[in-house]
């Protein structure tokens, strides 16, 4: 019994320790990638509420900004600065559409799906310009 006490004490400390947060997901902003020109890689990210995504400009001239109408109710929009990384923690479940402002019409869009896609129908109905609509439709086609 005596040798069990240190083990039980250590187990109690570990059980009481807060869970480690998941490392942030990284979305690269690229002039050219596997999906063509002016892309986010990956273009779609699935995370749990409370997790973070870091949008990283590998190539200059890109930003990441939420698309109006493509956010869950009560979620805060975000807007990065050209050629600077932006870190966003997503707390509300749902679909968050995002774009590169200078290359929006060229189809440089993506989505973060946080937990259950509660606003999927709304996100699919948002009017987008040019190639952005085609790319986003493809991304959201497999979200359930």
Question: Any idea where the domains of the chain sit in the sequence?
Answer: 22-140
**Segment 105-127, tens digit of pLDDT:** 999 999 999 999 999 999 999 99
Give the residue from 35, 78, 83, 33 showing the smallest Cα distance to 59: 83
136 is in an annotated binding site: no
106 is in an annotated binding site: no
CB under 8 Å to 81, separation ≥6 — which residues?
63
**Segment 67-99, tens digit of pLDDT:** 999 999 999 999 999 999 999 999 999 999 999
What does residue 45 show for φ and ψ, rounded to 5 degrees? -130, 135
pLDDT at 133: 98
70 is in an annotated binding site: no
Instruction: State mean pLDDT over 32-39.
Output: 96
pLDDT at 29: 99
62 is in an annotated binding site: yes
Rounded Cα distance between 66 and 78, Å, is 5
pLDDT at 42: 98
Q: What Rg value do the Cα atoms of the chain yield, rounded?
A: 19
Architecture in CATH of 22-140: Sandwich (2.60)
Mean pLDDT, rounded, of the chain: 90
Asked if residues 110 and 27 have their Cβ atoms less than 8 Å apart, the reply is: yes
Rounded Cα distance between 16 and 39, Å, is 43
């Amino acid at each position: 019994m005596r040798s069990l006490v240190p083990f039980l004490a250590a187990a109690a400390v570990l059980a009481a320790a807060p869970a480690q947060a998941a490392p942030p997901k990284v979305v690269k902003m690229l002039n050219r990638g596997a999906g063509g020109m002016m892309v986010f890689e990956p273009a779609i990210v699935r995370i749990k509420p409370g997790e973070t995504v870091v949008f990283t400009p590998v190539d200059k001239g890109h930003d990441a900004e939420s698309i109006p109408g493509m956010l869950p109710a009560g979620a805060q929009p975000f807007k990065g600065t050209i050629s600077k990384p932006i870190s966003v923690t997503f707390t509300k479940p749902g679909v968050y559409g995002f774009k590169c402002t200078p290359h929006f019409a060229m189809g440089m869009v993506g989505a973060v799906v946080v937990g259950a896609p509660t606003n999927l129908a709304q996100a699919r109905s948002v009017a987008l310009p040019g190639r952005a609509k085609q790319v986003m439709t493809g991304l959201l086609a497999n979200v359930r």
